[in-house]
Structure 1
Amino acid sequence: MKLIHLSDLHLGKRVNEFSMLEDQQYILAEILGIIDREAPDGVLIAGDVYDKSVPSAEAVSLLDDFLVRLSGRNLQVFVISGNHDSPERMAFGGRLMEGSGVHLAPVYGGRVEPITLTDGYGPVNLYLLPFLKPAHVRRWFPQREIATYTDALAAAIEAMEVDTAGRNVLVTHQFVTGAARCDSEEVSVGGSDNVDVSVFDSFDYVALGHIHGPQRVGRDTVRYCGTPLKYSFSEAGQQKSVTVVELGAKGDVAVRTVPLTPMRDMAELKGTYETLTFRGFYEGTGYPGDYVHITLTDEEDIPDAVSKLRVIYPYLMKLDYDNARTRAGTVVDGPEDRENKSPLELLEEFYEKQNGRPMEEAQRAFARDLMEHIWEGEA
């Protein structure tokens, strides 16, 4: 059985105030072309379908078009909600869509029933487990202590009563300990959202969402496929791809990737204003059509630099300087740096600036516990 693993479409996302809708429409068309060539039995979409819990009309329209096109290709589609999605909105119409081969995970209700597909080797059971916090799971298991994300996932999976003699696939959206993050991902307090990979031992393949860089975690068959597009400059060096999973007899799983080529790539450029505006530097490259982060090394600021540079680089997303002044620490971190720090790290920095000394361990522990309590309360 052949499956295509996708995740983290983040439809409707804006990056540094640039709408990514056109790029997303382009890459979804490319993915459909790959699906036509690969002819899979199913497509797995492992959460963060939208970038916001209340998506824009344009984002909803884009997903609607993608699902309609998928449903016309004689395959089964499996979709779960991620931490950026509203599980109720993602589940809407799910029972009606099943007739078209589109399976939307319902809001978690204490038990997940498998959806079974069959090939020449027999049945394959697919379990759809949307993004969960401990608070989502705790209410269904009042007699069980569920303090961590690992506890929550372990309880949810045990309740599935998975028959390990058969072939089983899990689609879920969590941060598994050991995975490498990118700047564009949501950072939790003190890594409190970590899930130990051992909770997935019952499954032949685990299709993960949440982490934006494609990678295996623990074993080759527990895998993040990554985003189809680059959503931060920390991803500039990544090769985005579609993951193809082929299940043979029990224990026989092959995983490979098919590269994706975006409409616009991301690039980081560094040099003096004179160097970067010299025709010989950019002519014949893809830089004028790419999303770019430019770091100028001039000692003096260039007046109206962004407007001038956008004549050559119209998709300039970010501009900063690297010179004696900035290296001396007189420039405050930009918004992207702040977004890459956890709330606890930001509080520690603020405390030290206000008081002239770092937080004590007891203060740090109190702040961490309070933030985790607030985090759970949002569920």
Structure 2
Amino acid sequence: MKFIHISDLHLGKRVNEFSMMEEQKYILQQVLYTVQNEAVDAVLIAGDIYDKPVPPAEAVVLFDTFLTRLSQMKKEVFIISGNHDSAERLSFGSSLFTAEGIHIAPVFEGNMEKVSLWDDAGEVCVYLLPFIKPSTVRRFYEEDLTDYTKTVQTVIEHTPVDTSKRNVLVAHQFVTGAGRCDSEEVSVGGLDNVDASVFEPFDYVALGHIHNAQHCSRESVRYCGTLLKYSFSEVNHIKSITVVELKEKGKNPQIHTVPVTPLHDMREIKGSYEELTFRKNYMNTAVNDYLHITLTDEEDIPDAISRLRSIYPNIMRLDYDNIRTRNSGSLEIGEAVVERTPLELFEDFYEQQNHKPMSEEQKQFICGLIESIWE
């Protein structure tokens, strides 16, 4: 059984006020080519189909076109909702789509959807687990669910998974130890962590939520990452499509990646205004890429971004790096605050006010308050 694993399409997303729709159309064509070229049996899409719970119409049309092509190619498709999606909207019409091989996880009602596929080695059971959190799950079980690991573990334990068969899980959670990017939605105080040990019953776990491709604990518990770069923290990422082939039960899945090429890359360049506008320096470079430009001039260039856009039309961000900015702590302080969790900021505030650190009991209490407010 061979399938591709993708996630976090974020259709309809805007990055620094630039629409990504043309980029997304272009990259989904590469997915369709890979589906055909790799001769896969199924496509797993692990959540965050859209960037917002109410996506723009053109994003819905794009996803509809993509699914229609996969259906015409006679591929089985498995879709779950992520934290950016509306599970209710995404699962509309799912009962009708099943007949065409499009399997969309319904709104979570206490159990996981299971779909069986067959190949020469027997049955492959695909389980669909949309994004869940304690507040949406605890009403279905007697357990007092307060953390994400226990929540996911409880759902899996209440699912009759036959471990003598090959089992695949499609999920959208943050697994402990995974590396995050600036473009991801970060929960508070690490409260959304899920320990990878809860996925033990599954031969392959197709994860979504983290934008950088990586595995967790074992090779077969895997984030495929996004198909496109959505922040400048991702400029060095190599985006790809994950291809997985399940062998007989007991054998490790064979996993490889197929690199994808964006319509416009996301890059960072640095230099003086004169250097960056000198024709010889930008000739034969991808001037239409999405750029973060850092100017090293000591004096601000009047109307710099407009003038630079005559050469580099897709500038997303412009900064200065000079004596003035290095002596000013405002940029570094602002970035540090953005990168820290609310719990860490509250700990600093508490220590400044009380001249002593918070106790573990106080931290747990604050975590609970923050989580309830966040939800």
Describe the superposition over 1:318-352 as per-residue Cα deviations: whole angstroms up to 9, x where unpaired: 01111111111254469877654433345567x49
Partner of 1:227: 226
- Runs of 5+ consecutive residues of structure 1 not aligned to the other structure: none
Relative to 1, partners in 2 of residues 1:365 and 1:271: Cα closer, same or farther, differing over 3 Å?
farther
Query: What is the number of residues matched between the two proteins?
Result: 374
**Partner AA of 1:277 in structure 2:** T
**TM-aligned CA deviation for residue 299 of structure 1:** 1.1
Question: Would the aligned equivalents of 2:77 and 2:103 in 1 still touch at CA under 8 Å?
Answer: yes
User: 1:348–1:359: 8 Å Cα contact kept in structure 2?
Assistant: no
Structure 2: how far apart are the matches of 1:305 and 1:337? 26
1:147-200 per-residue CA deviation (whole Å, 9 max, x = no partner) reads 210000000111112111110000000000111111101111111100000000
CA contact (8 A) 2:4 2:243 kept: yes
* Contact 1:189-1:372 at 8 Å conserved across structures: no
User: Which amino acid letter does the alignment assign opposite residue 138 of structure 2?
Assistant: R
Structure 1 pair 325–176 and aligned structure 2 pair: CA distance change class (3 A)? same
Corresponding residue for residue 207 of structure 1:
206
Give, in whole Å, the separation in 2 of the partners of 1:336 and 1:52. 25
* 1:259-291 alpha-carbon deviations (Å, 9 max, x no partner): 0000000110011111111112111111x1100
- How far apart, in 1, do the equivalents of 2:256 and 2:70 lie? 21
> How many angstroms does 1:356 deviate by?
6.8
Q: 2:226, 2:334 → 1: CA distance?
A: 22
1:13 counterpart = 2:13: yes
Q: In structure 2, what residue type is equivalent to 1:269? A: I
Aligned to 2:294: 295
- Cα-to-partner distance string for 1:55-77 (whole Å, 9 max, x where unaligned): 11111111111111111111100
| Pairs within 5 Å for 1:324-363 | 324-332=323-331, 339-345=338-344, 351=349, 360-362=356-358
Say if 1:356 and 1:202 are closer, same or farther in 2 by CA, change over 3 A: closer
The answer (yes or no) to whether the contact 2:15–2:231 under 8 Å persists in 1 is yes
Structure 1 CA distance, aligned partners of 2:234 and 2:271?
Answer: 21
Aligned equivalent of 1:312: 311
Assess, with a 3 A threshold, how the Cα gap between structure 1 residues 107 and 229 changes in structure 2: closer, same or farther. Answer: same
**CA, structure 1 residues 216+186, in 2 after alignment: closer, same or farther (shift >3 Å)?**
same
The CA distance in 2 between the partners of 1:57 and 1:364, in whole Å, is: 47
Residue 109 of structure 1, CA deviation: 1.0
Report whether the alignment pairs 1:240 with 2:239: yes
Are residue 162 (structure 1) and residue 161 (structure 2) matched? yes
Contact 1:5 1:43 in 2 (8 A): yes
Q: Kindly indicate whether the alpha-carbon contact (under 8 Å) linking 2:134 and 2:146 is maintained by their aligned counterparts in 1.
A: yes
Q: Which of 222-231 and 277-286 deviates more?
A: 277-286
**DSSP 3-state at the match of 2:358:** helix
1:57 aligns with 2:89: no
Alignment of 1:1-379 (within 5 A): 1-142=1-142, 144-252=143-251, 253-286=253-286, 288-332=287-331, 339-345=338-344, 351=349, 360-362=356-358, 366=362, 369-370=365-366, 372-376=368-372, 379=375
The answer to whether the 8 Å contact 2:347/2:357 transfers is: no
SS state of the match for residue 99, structure 2? helix
TM-score normalized with structure 2 length: 0.94
Uncovered stretches (5+) of structure 2, i.e. residues with no partner:
none
Q: Secondary structure at the match of 1:74?
A: coil
Structure 1 ranges of 4+ moved more than 6 A: 334-337, 355-359
1:34 partner letter: T
Aligned mates of 1:371, 1:156 — CA distance in 2: 23
Q: 1: CA distance between counterparts of 2:138 and 2:147?
A: 10
* 1-structure distance, mates of 2:27, 2:213: 16
The one-letter amino acid paired with 2:60 is: V
Match of 1:302, SS state, is coil
Task: Kindly indicate whether the alpha-carbon contact (under 8 Å) linking 1:78 and 1:103 is maintained by their aligned counterparts in 2.
Answer: yes
* C-alpha deviation, 1:376, in angstroms: 3.7
Deviation for aligned residue 1:300: 1.0
Q: How has the CA–CA distance of structure 1 residues 372 and 356 changed in structure 2, closer, same or farther, with 3 Å as cutoff? A: closer
Whether the aligned pair in 1 keeps the contact of 2:153 and 2:198 (CA below 8 Å) is yes
User: What RMSD, in angstroms, separates the aligned Cα atoms of the two structures?
Assistant: 2.1
Relative distance call for 1:262 and 1:377 in structure 2 (3 A) is same
Q: Conserved in 2, the CA contact under 8 Å of 1:133 and 1:376? A: no
Report if aligned partners of 2:246, 2:254 keep a CA contact under 8 Å in 1. yes
Q: Under a length normalisation based on structure 1, what TM-score does the superposition of the two structures give?
A: 0.93
Q: Is the 8 A contact 2:105 2:113 kept in 1?
A: no
Kept in 2: contact 1:129–1:171 (CA 8 A): yes
Which deviates further from its counterpart, 255-264 or 65-74? 65-74
Q: 1:17 to 1:98 in 2, by over 3 A?
A: same
Q: How far off is 1:112 after superposition?
A: 1.5
